[in-house]
A and B are shown apart, each in its own frame.
Chain A
Amino acid sequence: MPATLRWLGRRLILAAFVVFGAATAAFAAMNLMPGDPVLTILGSTNPTPALIAQVRSDLGYDEPFAVRYAEFLGRLVHGDLGQSYQLREPVTEVITGQLLPTAELALTAFVLALAVAAVLAVTTAGRRPAVRRVVSALELLTTSSPGFWIGILLLTFLSFRIHLFPAAGGDGVNGLVLPAITLALGMTGVFSQVLRAGLERALEEPYALTARARGTGETAVRTRHALRHALIPVLTLSGWALGTLLSGAVVVETVFGRRGIGRVMATAVIGRDVPTVTGVVIVSAVFFTLINILVDGLYRVIDPRLRQEKA
């Protein structure tokens, strides 16, 4: 499959460029920060000039800009994202230590959103207008509510009032339920709207009529023909969705007091711990770019028309 190989090659080169650009932007951000970063790191402890000079030299801030940029890129290639101002440990370690709870939360929310949306869409697509309309309005409502508010409401009424779930932290499934629902709610609305629109479009297509005219039953027309077509736009969205879930985690982990990258990020932004923030941003950009390549690849598996050579 030379076409597929060429596609993959092109995508990887483009991805490398995008990641390089993202790293450069992050580096620029670090250096654009108003005020002296060394003073920010040392905080309010009224440091002696000797200590300032010492830290400055330790962190390489006395080098020229170009040298620092080159060193930054060099360290990046080796997986070194610098030192956190606040936590005083390497950013790489901070991130890897917190990766798992966030991945768990985001994936649970993603699967939950997709499953609920699929059920909603397949059962309501092209059926009773009244039911459809109510469901669509509810979907629009959930996408109109801020996630952190939903989280606070769930906490207020399910944790503080009837003590169904732990209010903060909590490991295992119990601690995951409310945060995952909170994170999934808005996403479900988006997925189910897109999925239903795709199904309805596919069910109107002549190939659906032809399939029925062959004696194929309604369920088979929906699952065998229409669903594959409807999944294409959902797939396109899933890259965006994972990114949104990641930034949603920043708020949700704060609301529920969960450990994770999001909480690290929120604390770092408030404390203006720029190395940690850029570290998280660069790692997410890499991850996001890879996800997008994966999505494009799946796209080609589902739709054979895309496997053809194209200019």
Chain B
Amino acid sequence: MTLVETAAKATAAPSRAAFRPPPAATLVAGLALALIGVAFLWPGLIAPHSPDVADPVNALLPPGGGHLFGTDQLGRDTFSRVIYGTRPSLTIGIGATALAALAGSLLGVLALAGGRVLDEAIMRVTDVFLAFPGLLLALLVVAVLGPGTTNATLALAASATPGFVRLARAQALVVRRSDYVRAAVILGRPRAAIVLRHILPNALPPLLVLALVNVGTAIIAGSSLSFLGLGPQAPTPEWGAMLSDGRDFLSTAWHLAVFPGLAVTVTVFAINIVGRSLQVRFEGRTPGAGL
């Protein structure tokens, strides 16, 4: 009769997650990500034109005809530039998240495993860095290092790391205090086996999901930096930079304002949907799942 219980719970508790993407949406989002992956690796397969060849005669053409998304002020094909822009645009977000997740997880686990003094030291320094709200830490780093893809990536990684330190520590703490780790101790399992077979495999997946969701945030942050002129420099076709270039022609060429931003939104939306679906699967194992 546990079926009744499940039924009662299912009806009494419509949904705990803010949004559970339906399977179809997750599938579509997954396919979109696969396509974006192709554009990232082999843009030439999709793009009809070169992203850099100027053609002043055909400048600022509206979408249609031979140019799906129109052309920019130098007559370059916007669609091709959006496709070729995938790699520079996503590199910052993905790179920064990978760096931050790696450094953050290592530091978080080190804090927990390294004894009280190290724990206090790492966590207090983390507190200091968390006091710089939002992008400001990244802006400080760019101001010091100067603009460019590498520096923007490092800057965003620096601003995301403290969050990962906290999460990794909290996650490892939850697992370490769990009944199943206690059960393994009672079974007399060696310390290394407990860490390798229970703590790491259970603490990592939720962190990876959070890292995936953070990729979306980092892509937006990266395109914001590029928009401000702090990311890859011209003529690299980066989405944020393209929007910045297009700003001077908004009254005549609306398409320059729409498509690069749409590319960011579609990418991040797809990542968020897939991330949410994965998060639902790990629900209950994630402490205060991050936003």
Which residues in A have some Cβ–Cβ distance to B below 8 Å?
A: 14, 17-19, 21-22, 25-26, 29-30, 32-34, 126, 129, 132-133, 136-137, 139-141, 143-150, 152-153, 155-157, 160-161, 190, 193-194, 196-197, 200-201, 204, 237, 240, 242-244, 246-248, 250-251, 254-255, 265-266, 268-270, 272-274, 277-278, 280-281, 284-285, 288-289
Contact = CB atoms under 8 A, between A and B. Distances in A.
Contacts of A133: 19, 22
5 contacts: A137-B21, A152-B247, A190-B291, A197-B16, A243-B134
Given A18-B131, A196-B18, A289-B131, A250 B143 contact: no
B140 A278 contact: yes
A26 B128 contact: no
A277 B228 contact: no
B30 to A, nearest CB: 16
B140 A137 contact: no
B232 to A, nearest CB: 15
Interface stretch (B66-74, B104-112, B164-172, B265-273): B265-273
B136 A281 contact: yes
Given A144-B272, A269-B142, A288-B131, 15 more contacts: A19-B131, A29-B141, A33-B144, A34-B146, A133-B22, A144-B268, A145-B261, A148-B243, A152-B246, A247-B134, A247-B139, A250-B135, A255-B247, A269-B228, A277-B143
Contacts of A149: 243, 257, 260-261, 264-265
Nearest to A160: B251
B125 interface: yes
B173 to A, nearest CB: 16
Interface in B213-266: 216, 220, 223-224, 227-230, 240, 243, 246-247, 250-251, 254, 257-258, 260-261, 264-265
A200 B14 contact: yes
Nearest to A148: B227
Contact of B272 (A140, A153, A277): A140
B134 A244 contact: yes
B15 interface: yes
B131 A146 contact: no
B7 interface: no
Contacts of B260: 149
B133 interface: yes
B4 interface: no
Nearest to A28: B144
Nearest to B258: A153
Contacts of B132: 22, 281, 284-285, 288
Given A144-B265, A144-B272, A21 B128 contact: yes
Max chain B C-beta neighbours (<10 A), residue from A196, A240, A247: A247
B124 interface: yes
Contacts of A139: 18-19
A98 to B, nearest CB: 15
A281 B291 contact: no
Contacts of A268: 143
B276 A251 contact: no
B134 A269 contact: no
Max chain A C-beta neighbours (<10 A), residue from B18, B128, B265, B268: B18
B17 interface: yes
Contact of A129 (B13, B14, B254, B257): B14
Contacts of A269: 139, 142-143, 228, 230
Contact of B128 (A18, A273, A274): A18
A272 B146 contact: yes
A193 B250 contact: no
B12 interface: yes
Contacts of A153: 257-258, 261
A274 B145 contact: no
B175 interface: no
B147 interface: yes
Contacts of A273: 143
Nearest to A138: B19
A185 B258 CA distance: 17
